[in-house]
Structure 1
Amino acid sequence: MSAFNTMKNLPLELRTMVSIPKDQLEQYYDNMFFLGQKAMDNGAYGQSYLYLKMLYDLVPSYHGLRSIKKSVEDKVLARALKSIAVIPFKSPVSEPELGLQVTSNIMQILQNTLSDDVKIIERGALEILLREYELAVAGSAEEQTSTDSFRIKSADYLLMGEVLDSRTETNIQNSKKKVRVKVGENQIRNIEWEDWSREAMQLRKQNRPIPPAPRKYLMKPVYEYAEYDVAFHEKVSYLSISYRVVETSQGRVTYSNTVRAQKEERDEATSGIDIGTYQVNMKAAKLPTDIEMSNEVRKETIDKISSEIMERFKDQDEKYLAEAIKLESSNNIQSAVELYVNAILLKIRKKKDVTELEDKAGKYLDVLTAY
């Protein structure tokens, strides 16, 4: 490792000026390539990657290096990149296509958000996987004493679910509204004028001043009771989906939940009225359509399920890194290096810098070579 670090830190134009006999330098490269191949043959793909990456940094044109390095990277990614298959969700009898629609939407979201952390099984491969799943379930039922019979090779995890309830209901309550409406006026004698008239006669006889006369007639409003129709509209859309994540190596449910969403809309309709001075315009209730409301609760439910799945499977590189540090602290160096490399290749997929991490894992190669 010390020789590698020395050579790596030299500029390319100075490496050729280092006074190392050519045959010794080639022997050094050959030995590094040999160690990389040996580690690969032993299934230690993390060690193999580090050896081959070191060699690539020094002499990228080394014969056969690119192909074997690519092969090792593929093997590391195959184990580091866990796969999830979204099994078609079961549909309610009333909406036989809903389960497939939910499945398709969830799969699309996971592909757009988790593709650098996990592998989402494509739709084309689902038919084969479903057949494998059916056989595994049948085998598990026949051999209840062993969980090995449930194992599925095509995916590490299954996302399975069922649409428990999906409905949109409209409720209308009809009633009548009664109002007291002014419909006109009647002219009536003013009692105050009657009193004034009698008093005025007495004052005239006494030659006393007469106060101003009030209005002789008053206008009395005429009221009637009127009714008009009122309808209270309420629309409720509801969706309930249960799902679970199954780890296929043992058929173990690692997570399950039931997600519910509900949306309510209300409005009022009136038949209208126009009588006297009172007017209420006719009004129709304005509510979203059944499809619009069901789409909203479906989106809310699917987004919540997808968010919960993403929370469990995102940042796999950081999870591998944390586990590697634990193994390193317990002196399990060989396993730690393998997980470090898992983290490295996932970080590379995310276009993150891995130089420091590669150096950290690479420092253990001399120790592991001595095993």
Structure 2
Amino acid sequence: MMQSPLPPGRPIRPGSGGRRCPWAWCLLLLLVAVACAPAGVREQARRAAALSAAGRDAEALQILKDLCRRSRGRGRSCTDLARVRGRLAQARLGPVRTRLAEFREAGRPVPLSVLDELAARVAGLEAVDPDAPGLGEVKGAIEAARGATSSAVNATLAKAEDLSAGGDWEGALKALEGAKALDPGTVGPRSRELADRAVAALAAEADAAAGREDWKTARRCLDRWLAIRPGDPGAEGLRRKIEAGDNAEAYLERAAAARAAYAYDEAVAALRRAAAYPDAPADVAERLSALLAEAAAFHFRNGASFLEQEHLVEAVEAFEQGSGFLAALPDARRGQVAVPKKAVRALADRLFSKAQAAARKGFPGAALLGYDLVLELEPGYPQAAQLRRAAEAAVAARARKCLAVTAFKGPAAAPEVGGIFTAELLRRLHRDLDADLRVVERASLDLLLKEYELARTAGRDTRRQDPSAGFRFTSADYLLLGEVVDYRVETSRQETARTIRVQTGTESVPNPAYVPGKTRDPKVPPVIRRPTYEDVRYRQTHYRKVGTASVSYRVVDARSGDVLRSEVLEASRTAEDDAHEGVEIGAFKLPVKLADLPPDMELLREAQEEVVEKLARQVAGGFRGADARYLAEAAARDEAGDRRAALERYADARAIMARKGRDPAAVTAKIREHLDVLAGF
């Protein structure tokens, strides 16, 4: 064993705080420590250097970390450790940064597979050196890229759902296909599920189109189906169905079968479809004309037969069908069809008689239907057009009910206000209800009562009147009675005494900064001015105006006297302001302020407009939509078996719809379904 070079004596204890050794002894101690370093440490240092030189930095790193730890962070081993650590981090993280930058510069999200690969490289470095420089930064960049990719995938999924909801299956699948590389695990199943939905929807649409013989739509859906899923065996059945039905020969066969069954409507439709194909026979147009002539003659014969048997409804339907087929014939071929003119005239006579009977019994809707049919059969039928106009006017007058608005009674203090309210209300009701209701003005209830008395004394047998007719007026269906209950302005004032402290002037006082006989500065005067304050009292008045307008009204059914609605409506407008007297004390001046309030009539006019608007809105709400009410009532009457009343309500609905410019075709068809009602007169 090596002997200590220190002379015998008291040993030096580390951290003893006693005397320190001279520098020569310290240097000698360091040299001895280096010389006495274990041979294993030197060998490890040489091995780390060799590994680093060979590019095996990960292995060298572990050795250098151990050597640096032993040297307590000092020495060459720590320097070598920092160098190797930096080189290793650059080798592992540099490619990761470069790859992320490529996607960032291209403006594209990074596929999850790429991110997983990069994360694996970073994890490898972290396993070797958790404290590698830049490690946290790169891990954060990878997570940020992963979040951006997830957001892009979610946005694409949402876009695909929107496109598919609008029927753009191809666009939705294309969007998913573009995002599949980003996240195959998420997008792939969604793409397959969407393709299944698309095929199901297109198959259903194609099948429905084939069912209604819309072959163009059916083929388009089939093509889209096969574009999404090429060679799908499920499409074969639909393809065969389309091929079997979408050709001229199929329609020619159908036309022949329908003709044999006297189903001329179906036969004509099938022959027309056959004629639309390029490969249709050359004589298909001639076949169609012959079929139309045959169908017209067939229905005319049936109509005459039905008329002889007193089956009026069936006769009308047969003649209408025959006329329809005849009108479809070319002009040159119409003369070849024998029209039973006597039978047609006889049917027109019967319908004319029925229409007159309906009109006499107070059913103008049925009468209008009869006159329409007469004019269709015989456009020049005597008096039919004139009587039709009368029936149409009667239906319109009945459908558009009349609301009589009596002059509102004004308050005793301002009786003229009632007329103002009435005029404004009439204007608004005319604006809102013109298509649904006739709004008329009556000067007073007394005038309506006179009309009622005239109606009672006009030669009617009151013993045979309807019990509800005791309150019925001839000029109105509904009455609007009202009174202006309140129309006034209340003004209040409240006086208060206010006290404020204000500067009224200034006064001279000794300057505390000036010392007689000692102050030499000319800028420091012996006397200065200071403000003087006083309490000023003045009167302030708060003015408040409240304009109030209120009306009481009732809507009464003139047929029964029932009160349909009764309410009191009120509105108010408020204006406030302050006024105060003028004050002048010394240098202080408070000018006079007058209250700035609107005139009483302005407040009342605003309150009046609000009340009238409320009133008009409530009244209009009860009468608007007359056509919808008539249709609902007609349906209810039909369900109850009262077909006469149903026909009249349908006629009323059509009259209101005509005033509103709406298409009445559907209601007209409903009216035609009640031909049996006309036949019953």
TM-score range, shorter chain: 0.7 to 0.9
Aligned-partner Cα distance in 1 for 2:589–2:655:
74
Asked if residue 92 in structure 1 is aligned to residue 92 in structure 2, the reply is: no
* Paired residues for 1:321-340 under 5 Å: 321-340=631-650
Aligned-partner Cα distance in 2 for 1:12–1:351:
33
* Paired residues for 1:277-356 under 5 Å: 278-356=588-666
* Paired residues for 1:127-166 under 5 Å: 128-132=447-451, 149-166=470-487
* Residues 135 and 61 of structure 1, relative CA distance in 2, 3 Å threshold: closer
In our comparison, the structure showing a higher alpha carbon Rg is: 2
Aligned-partner Cα distance in 2 for 1:30–1:299:
58
* Residues 258 and 158 of structure 1, relative CA distance in 2, 3 Å threshold: same
Aligned-partner Cα distance in 2 for 1:134–1:27:
47
Aligned-partner Cα distance in 2 for 1:15–1:305:
65
Aligned length: 351
* Paired residues for 1:1-371 under 5 Å: 1=317, 3-4=319-320, 7=323, 10=327, 17=334, 19=337, 20-57=339-376, 59-123=378-442, 128-132=447-451, 149-191=470-512, 217-273=527-583, 275=585, 278-366=588-676, 369=679
Q: Give identity over the alignment, percent.
A: 32
Q: Deviations over 1:67-95 (max 9, x none)?
A: 10111122223332222211222222111
Q: Judge conservation of contact 1:8–1:58 (CA < 8 Å) in 2.
A: no
Higher-strand-fraction structure: 1
> More deviation in 124-133 or 51-60?
124-133
Q: Judge conservation of contact 1:173–1:233 (CA < 8 Å) in 2.
A: yes
Aligned-partner Cα distance in 1 for 2:392–2:680:
24
Q: Judge conservation of contact 1:4–1:54 (CA < 8 Å) in 2.
A: no
Q: Judge conservation of contact 1:8–1:57 (CA < 8 Å) in 2.
A: no
Aligned residue for 1:187, secondary structure, equals: strand
Aligned-partner Cα distance in 2 for 1:74–1:329:
28
Higher-helix-fraction structure: 2
Q: Judge conservation of contact 1:192–1:214 (CA < 8 Å) in 2.
A: yes
* Residues 122 and 3 of structure 1, relative CA distance in 2, 3 Å threshold: farther
Aligned-partner Cα distance in 1 for 2:598–2:532:
43
- Following TM superposition, by how much is the alpha carbon of 1:60 offset from its aligned partner in structure 2, in angstroms? 4.2
Aligned-partner Cα distance in 1 for 2:444–2:547:
34
Aligned-partner Cα distance in 1 for 2:586–2:475:
79
Q: Judge conservation of contact 2:452–2:474 (CA < 8 Å) in 1.
A: no
Q: Deviations over 1:31-89 (max 9, x none)?
A: 33333223223333222212222344565443212210111122223332222211222
* Residues 367 and 164 of structure 1, relative CA distance in 2, 3 Å threshold: closer
Q: Deviations over 1:225-262 (max 9, x none)?
A: 22344322211111121111111222211110000011
Aligned AA for 2:319?
A: A
> More deviation in 235-244 or 127-136?
127-136
* Residues 322 and 277 of structure 1, relative CA distance in 2, 3 Å threshold: farther
Q: Judge conservation of contact 2:644–2:677 (CA < 8 Å) in 1.
A: no
Aligned residue for 1:89, secondary structure, equals: coil
- Following TM superposition, by how much is the alpha carbon of 1:177 offset from its aligned partner in structure 2, in angstroms? 3.0
Aligned residue for 1:95, secondary structure, equals: coil
Aligned AA for 1:321?
A: L
Q: Judge conservation of contact 1:181–1:276 (CA < 8 Å) in 2.
A: no
Aligned AA for 2:400?
A: L
Q: Judge conservation of contact 1:234–1:265 (CA < 8 Å) in 2.
A: yes
Q: Judge conservation of contact 2:400–2:437 (CA < 8 Å) in 1.
A: yes
Normalising by structure 1, we get a TM-score of 0.81
* Residues 184 and 278 of structure 1, relative CA distance in 2, 3 Å threshold: closer
- Following TM superposition, by how much is the alpha carbon of 1:268 offset from its aligned partner in structure 2, in angstroms? 1.8
- Following TM superposition, by how much is the alpha carbon of 1:159 offset from its aligned partner in structure 2, in angstroms? 0.8
Q: Judge conservation of contact 2:540–2:580 (CA < 8 Å) in 1.
A: yes
Q: Judge conservation of contact 2:569–2:615 (CA < 8 Å) in 1.
A: yes
- Following TM superposition, by how much is the alpha carbon of 1:12 offset from its aligned partner in structure 2, in angstroms? 11
Q: Judge conservation of contact 1:32–1:52 (CA < 8 Å) in 2.
A: yes
Q: Judge conservation of contact 1:84–1:158 (CA < 8 Å) in 2.
A: yes
Aligned-partner Cα distance in 2 for 1:326–1:215:
106
* Residues 133 and 370 of structure 1, relative CA distance in 2, 3 Å threshold: closer
Aligned residue for 2:627, secondary structure, equals: helix
- Following TM superposition, by how much is the alpha carbon of 1:296 offset from its aligned partner in structure 2, in angstroms? 1.4
Q: Judge conservation of contact 2:555–2:564 (CA < 8 Å) in 1.
A: yes
Q: Deviations over 1:312-371 (max 9, x none)?
A: 011111110111122223343222111100111121122221122101221221465268
Aligned-partner Cα distance in 1 for 2:650–2:486:
45
- Following TM superposition, by how much is the alpha carbon of 1:134 offset from its aligned partner in structure 2, in angstroms? 8.2
Q: Judge conservation of contact 1:230–1:268 (CA < 8 Å) in 2.
A: yes
Normalising by structure 2, we get a TM-score of 0.46
Q: Judge conservation of contact 1:39–1:48 (CA < 8 Å) in 2.
A: yes
Aligned-partner Cα distance in 1 for 2:333–2:558:
53
* Residues 233 and 315 of structure 1, relative CA distance in 2, 3 Å threshold: same
Aligned-partner Cα distance in 2 for 1:150–1:29:
42
